[in-house]
Amino acid sequence: MALRSHPNIRMTHPGPIGVFDSGIGGLSIARRIRELLPHENLLYVADSVHAPYGEKAEHYIQQRADTITRFLIDNNAKAIVVACNTATVSAIRQLRADYTLPIIGVEPGIKPAALQSKSGVIGVLATSQTLKSESFNNLSRLFSESVCVEIQPCPGLVEQIEVLDLDSEKTQALVARYVAPLIEKGADHIVLGCTHYAFLAPVIRRIAGAGIQVVNTDIAVARETLRRLQNANRLSTSVAPGQMAFWSSAANELADQQIKRLWDGNVTINTMR
């Protein structure tokens, strides 16, 4: 589903929108932002050396999120999108307390899944850190009277995506292992609770079967980014296509393979430590 761009909205701020993730998963969010706001410059950071965040301690994730946020601000970012579910639940509260620019996070699409479910059961695929977080459990409890929210941690999936192993037998076997319990419990919607999983959506749909809806929130995050920039009067006045800059903490060869495969065009990837 493509988003409509907004070429007639013209306010003021030339800086880029900073987007970061534990790795390449946040590219799914960056792509939606590019579709909606084609005149904005984007600065993307993939912290792939430290991926996955989902199996790490909360204080570690907070430290990495703060380091990357400072880097983005030093590079004139006018807003920051924390394009990682685990970093959002672990660090966004502190980031918003420490920095004044707009900071947008992501959360699993439990609400739309709950509102649309016919079976009364929805499943959530996510990392262990996301599923055990206070914010996730608060979100889940909001809808617990109307639907049963079944959760499924997915160790190993982020690692498969980071090495671009998106449709091998090993990846399909992992997806099947995690999806099957949700289907057996009657889930008719499967919520992607990690931005990386967007790149496995075709495999998840195929394995889950007809009639199971896969719910992603990438479009909602892009729209929230637009809203926050409008409210802060920080949209670009440019009519030229926005530029895209990529930074990664991974080795140059791996980062080059990752981003060039998942992002259209001939791009240059810079190294961040």
Rounded to whole angstroms, the Cα distance separating 150 from 122 reads: 6
Of the candidates 43, 84, 175, 255, the residue annotated as catalytic is 84
173: burial class by Cβ within 10 Å (0-12, 13-18, 19+)? exposed
What six digits make up the tokens of 170?
């090993």
Joined tokens for residue 145: 């009277």
Which residue, among 92, 52, 90, 83, has the nearest Cα to 195 in the 3D structure? 83
- Please tell me what DSSP assigns to residue 48: G
Structural contact between residues 217 and 149, judged by C-beta atoms closer than 8 angstroms: no
DSSP 23-72: SSTTHHHHHHHHHH-TTS-EEEEE-GGG--GGGS-HHHHHHHHHHHHHHH
Provide the token pair at 89: 């639940």
Establish how many alpha carbons lie within 13 A of residue 195's alpha carbon, considering only the half-sphere containing its beta carbon: 34
Q: Is 148 a catalytic residue?
A: no
Q: Which residue in the list 37, 114, 194, 244 is annotated as catalytic?
A: 194
Residues labelled as active-site residues: 84, 194
